[in-house]
Amino acid sequence: MTFAPALAPECVAAAGRLGAIVANVVVNTFARLNSPELIPQLSALEAAHATPGTVQSALQVLIQADETLRDRLLRERAADPIAVGVVLSSFRKAKQQPADEILLPLLNADQEAVRQITAWQLARGIASQAFTLSPAIATVVDARIKDNDGKQPIDRAVVREGPAAFFSTLPIKACVAEMRKAGLPAAVSNTAGTFVCNQVFYATMDMAAQHALGFRGGFLHIPYLPEQAARLGGAPSMALDDIVRGIEIVLAVSAARQTDLHSVEGRIS
């Protein structure tokens, strides 16, 4: 069964008059009928206040039914972070690598939200092995435990024939100093380990080096929230407001400085 194209504008017009509840019903109807006629109607339905979660779920259903719709979505909705996120998530779940001609325009898109969702989905893909404040990261992956997708790579390169290591291009010592001034506990860690943190950081810096994307990168490890720590038997934790404050300091210092402090932050072990 398919959605009659002639009826689509009438349904969307009704949603525009009646608001979010009807808009969500219309979106869900397109999805239940696996109708790609949803795609050209998305702007009008979003203007009628269809909720982002409903639109996201509907697009996921359409792509599951027909993967060729990924290309259409990227052609027609490349400025829409919801559509871009759904498409890249589909690649990741299928353990498929999006081509550079797909990723690079999205990473350089005019819309900040599109750049953010692309970077986030790419990082999730790297961490799950679907895609191929530490000063340096190494090429080796040697996972002590399984990741969230049940993968546990051992003695494997993050990127085949990649450099032995990359160094952070952020002023990490200056960031740590400013966080301490603000009363936040902070330290330089001279390794990102050999697990997901290291892998995400390495692959991001490798991508920047290979494609001259013009961004700087680093890795900031944040503590658990208190409620998370309570479930884990008292692990170190920090209030959400303080975590946000620390991230804002790192962003501000990194934007203001091109060079780092020359100060002692090394450790014996």
Specify if 211 maps to a domain: yes
Specify if 146 maps to a domain: yes
- Which span out of 1-15, 120-134, 157-171 was modeled with the highest average pLDDT? 157-171
Specify if 6 maps to a domain: no
Cα 201 from Cα 170, distance rounded (Å)? 12
What is the number of structural domains in the chain? 1
**Structure confidence by residue, pLDDT tens digits, 144-159:** 666 666 777 666 666 6
Using a 10 angstrom Cβ sphere, with 0-12 exposed, 13-18 middle and 19 or more buried, the burial of residue 169 is middle
> What pLDDT score does 130 carry?
40
Q: Comparing 77 with 265, which gets the higher pLDDT?
A: 77
Q: Comparing 257 with 129, which gets the higher pLDDT?
A: 257
> Does residue 138 surpass a pLDDT of 60?
no
> What pLDDT score does 153 carry?
64
Specify if 177 maps to a domain: yes
Using a 10 angstrom Cβ sphere, with 0-12 exposed, 13-18 middle and 19 or more buried, the burial of residue 62 is buried
Pairing of strands 165-167, 140-141: unpaired
> Range of 241's domain?
132-269
CB-based contact 86:119 (threshold 8 Å): no
> What pLDDT score does 145 carry?
63
> What pLDDT score does 252 carry?
92
Cα 130 from Cα 104, distance rounded (Å)? 18
> Does residue 48 surpass a pLDDT of 60?
yes
> What pLDDT score does 198 carry?
75
Specify if 191 maps to a domain: yes
> What pLDDT score does 144 carry?
64
Q: What is the 3-state secondary structure (H, E, C) of the chain?
A: CCCCCCCHHHHHHHHHHHCHHHHHHHHHHHHHCCCCCHHHHHHHHHHCCCCHHHHHHHHHHHHHHCCCHHHHHHHHCCCCHHHHHHHHHHHHHCCCCCCHHHHHHHHCCCCHHHHHHHHHHHHHHHHCCCCCCCCEEECEECCCCCCCCCCCCCCEECCCCCCCEEECCCCHHHHHHHHHHCCCCCCCCCCCCCCHHHHHHHHHHHHHHHHCCCCCCCCCCCCECHHHHHHCCCCCECCHHHHHHHHHHHHHHHHHCCCCCCCCCCCCC
Average pLDDT, integer, range 103-117: 79
What residues contact residue 179 under an 8 Å CB cut-off, 6+ apart?
185, 186, 246, 249, 250
pTM: 0.48
> Does residue 181 surpass a pLDDT of 90?
yes
> Does residue 222 surpass a pLDDT of 70?
yes
Residue 217 main-chain phi, psi, to 5 deg: -140, 155
Specify if 14 maps to a domain: no
Confidence of residue 169 (pLDDT cuts 50, 70, 90): confident
> What pLDDT score does 143 carry?
58
**Strand partners for 50:** none
> What pLDDT score does 129 carry?
39
In this structure, how many other beta carbons lie within 10 angstroms of the beta carbon of residue 237?
A: 16
- Which span out of 30-44, 93-107, 148-162 was modeled with the highest average pLDDT? 30-44
**Structure confidence by residue, pLDDT tens digits, 80-97:** 989 998 998 888 777 776
Average pLDDT, integer, range 114-138: 58
Specify if 105 maps to a domain: no
Confidence of residue 193 (pLDDT cuts 50, 70, 90): low
Specify if 237 maps to a domain: yes
CATH, residue 243: 3.40.630.20
